[in-house]
Amino acid sequence: MSEITCCPACASAATSVIYQLDAIPVQSCILLDTPEEARAFPRRPLVLRFCDDCGFVYNAVFNLAQVDYASTTEESQHFSGTFNRFARDLVAEIASLHDLKGQQVLEIGCGKGDFLQELVQQTGAQGLGVDPGFIPARLPGANGQDIRFQREYFDPATVPATDYIVCRHTLEHIPAVGQFMADVMAATRGRDEIGVFFETPDVARVLDEGAFWDIYYEHCSYFTLGSHARLFERAGMGVTRLYLAYDGQYIIQYANIGGSEYLAQADDLDRVRALAARFPAKVAETRAYWTDYVQSRHASGKRVAIWGGGSKGVSFLTTNDLAAEIAQVIDINPFKQGKYLPGTGHRVSGPDDLHAAPPDTVIVMNPIYLPEIRDQLAGMGLAPELVAV
């Protein structure tokens, strides 16, 4: 197992290990048809390194050949009203900052195409989505005059000239982040007027909370506000707007070609160094807390469910070897229901299945969904203990 010790973002050798796992599933959003297939799903080690020079965090033993993004995966959060409101508001913000009517917009890593469709509808832009996991049947009628898709990995040589670039929740899946930014720059064709919008998970919160459920194999690259901005500046892009959104979980960044403005929120290295130094103890404490929380309730005869059958749920279960202790895994995404989680083989059920076997405790994998889930459970006449990680 070869380990990359030089930072993929800035090439510094000043990196150190802050977290290790012996084996975790190599994909956590994959849809598996049987519990046997799910339990036998491949696992690989994870070794997180922190770069003291730029603040970048990365999986030093990540092997891209182990991950197939063209396989049947299900990462969409667009079945949640909370998430849809956030996405619509984000599109409205982009539209308020850039007149995209009649402009060509490229979305790199468009997923199932929901965000690009909303962007085209709100702005009057012409959209092109690129993603190997795009499923045409999920967006019927969209692949026409105003929006089209290329079901492939992003390559600047295969996309036409564009006026605006969007990339959401893709950068964290890229191991060679420096080369990826060079490819993004190539897609601009050197035109200074092209705007760039990126959305990426924030690792500072993960470090601060010891949020082990937000660490999984597909996420090989982890950014803070500062390390995100510094990556773009090294690539020749100027960061013009930078902030955290979605309850502090996501980095929102606007950029264009040229010099950066000074953004105080990017000046975070000292804070992140301190968080990285404390992380090994913090993540051990957090893991121990949740293991005890689940095991003690299970031992007392309580039914424990988790709400969220995506990456967070898979990491929560497999990192702490929780299997029989969790009676149910619930998700509102109908494409996940009836499928099985890699690693543990838990079946993903819809909320209606809770009627037949009501849980005593429901652990919500993302606290931003607590109000939405509480209302749904109340509407079903259920009032379990409800907590969020």
Q: Residue 295: inside a domain, yes or no?
A: no
pLDDT digits (tens, 9 = 90+) for 179-222: 999 999 999 998 888 999 999 999 999 999 999 999 999 999 99
pLDDT at 196: 96
Average pLDDT rounded to a whole number, residues 28-49: 95
Query: Looking at the DSSP assignment, which residues form a beta bridge with residue 59?
Result: 48
% helix / strand / coil in the chain, to the nearest 5? 35, 25, 40
pLDDT at 74: 54
Q: pTM of the predicted model, to two decimals?
A: 0.93
pLDDT at 339: 95
pLDDT at 262: 73
Same domain, 383 and 254: no
pLDDT at 294: 98
Measured between its terminal Cα atoms, the distance across the chain in Å is 32
Residue the block writes with tokens 């652990």: 363
| Higher-pLDDT residue of 72, 111 | 111
Q: Residue 8: inside a domain, yes or no?
A: no
195 exposed, middle or buried (CB, 10 Å; 0-12, 13-18, 19+)?
buried
Structure tokens of 331? Answer: 């998700």
Three-class secondary structure of residue 199 per DSSP: strand
pLDDT digits (tens, 9 = 90+) for 263-286: 889 999 999 999 999 999 999 999
In percent, the amount of the chain with pLDDT more than 90 equals: 83
Looking at the predicted structure, is the pLDDT value of residue 76 above 70?
no
Same domain, 374 and 264: no
Same domain, 86 and 55: no
pLDDT at 16: 98
Q: Residue 4: inside a domain, yes or no?
A: no
Q: Residue 143: inside a domain, yes or no?
A: yes
The backbone region for 158, taken as left when phi is positive above 0, alpha when psi lies in -120 to 50, beta otherwise, is alpha
pLDDT at 140: 67
Looking at the predicted structure, is the pLDDT value of residue 70 above 80?
no
Residue the block writes with tokens 């203990």: 385
Identify the weakest region by mean pLDDT among 67-71, 109-113, 184-188, 302-306: 67-71
Q: Residue 44: inside a domain, yes or no?
A: yes
| Higher-pLDDT residue of 339, 84 | 339
* Residue type, position 335, single letter: F
pLDDT digits (tens, 9 = 90+) for 297-347: 999 999 999 999 999 999 999 999 999 999 999 998 888 899 999 999 999
Pair type for strands 237-245 and 328-330: unpaired
Angle at 80 between CA 143 and CA 67, to 5 degrees: 65
Given pLDDT bands bounded at 50, 70 and 90, which one contains residue 144? low
pLDDT at 258: 78
CB distance 164 to 198 below 8 Å: no
pLDDT at 141: 62
Residue the block writes with tokens 């898979």: 314
Looking at the predicted structure, is the pLDDT value of residue 63 above 80?
yes
CB distance 151 to 124 below 8 Å: no
Residue 11: how many other CB atoms lie within 10 Å: 12
Same domain, 103 and 219: yes
Q: Which CATH number do you get for residue 361? A: 3.40.50.720
Same domain, 90 and 55: no
Task: Please give the C-alpha separations between residue 54 and each of 191, 224, 242, in angstroms, as whole numbers.
Answer: 28, 10, 17
pLDDT digits (tens, 9 = 90+) for 10-38: 999 999 999 999 999 999 988 899 999 99
Looking at the predicted structure, is the pLDDT value of residue 78 above 70?
no
Same domain, 113 and 53: no
Q: Residue 229: inside a domain, yes or no?
A: yes
Same domain, 220 and 160: yes
Q: Domain limits at 57?
A: 15-62
Q: Residue 281: inside a domain, yes or no?
A: no
Task: State the alpha helices, DSSP H only, in the chain.
Answer: 35-39, 81-97, 114-123, 177-187, 203-209, 225-235, 269-299, 311-319, 370-379
In percent, the amount of the chain with pLDDT more than 70 equals: 95
Rounded CA-CA distance 252/91 in Å is 12
Looking at the predicted structure, is the pLDDT value of residue 143 above 70?
no
Average pLDDT rounded to a whole number, residues 113-130: 93
Q: Supply the DSSP string of 115-140, one letter for each residue.
A: HHHHHHHHH--EEEEE-TT--GGGST
